[in-house]
Amino acid sequence: MKLIWPKHTILFTFKVLIFCLAVFMAILSALVYLPLKTPLKMFVVLSGSMNPVIPAGSIVMVEREPVSIQKGEVITFIHPNKPLEFVTHRVINVESQGNTAVYQTKGDANNIPDQWVVKKEAVWGKATFVVPFLGYLINFAKTKLGVVLIIALPLFLIAASEMTVIVKEIKRLRQAKIKLPQLD
């Protein structure tokens, strides 16, 4: 016996999936770009300096204020020369300068260490896990075209589809000569 899915079931499933995708992208974008005070934060990795462990376009989840940072761990920190930019690199050496720890870092794909040391105060946190390539979608979603294509268009299509269902039902009721309730 061949199973045939009714057209309305497939359409409904498609609408639910599109709606869930739009909501997921909106929430994910908010978690990446809003300055939320959470113990974990997502960062989009823009360069290939950490290839192959963290490819360009990945999202890295960073644990805020880790207890300790050891040699070999991956950290996200404020770029010493660009205070609005974050860098995610591996710690290759831990030293002390006075009462505070400083970290020498290097991207896995780079041939030489970074030309600076990172003070403990500049460390945002320690990388806990990575979702490869999802950052490309997040970065696209924050553009005007991305908002339209990933969030607004699917929601518009769902609304338009629902409007056609409503119009068809009204026509069916009129043809059946069923009196519709009047709005006052």
* Crossing angle for the helix pair 153-175 and 7-33, to the nearest 10 degrees: 150
Instruction: Judge whether 176 lies within some domain.
Output: no
Our count of domains for the chain comes to 1
Q: Which domain holds residue 77?
A: 38-129
Instruction: Judge whether 161 lies within some domain.
Output: no
Instruction: Judge whether 111 lies within some domain.
Output: yes
Instruction: Judge whether 50 lies within some domain.
Output: yes
Q: What is the pLDDT of residue 123?
A: 93
Instruction: Judge whether 8 lies within some domain.
Output: no
Confidence (pTM): 0.69
Instruction: Judge whether 56 lies within some domain.
Output: yes
Mean pLDDT of 48-67: 91
Q: What is the pLDDT of residue 54?
A: 95
Q: What CATH number is attached to the domain comprising 90?
A: 2.10.109.10
Instruction: Judge whether 179 lies within some domain.
Output: no
Query: Vertex 117, ends 111 and 122: CA angle to 5°?
Result: 120
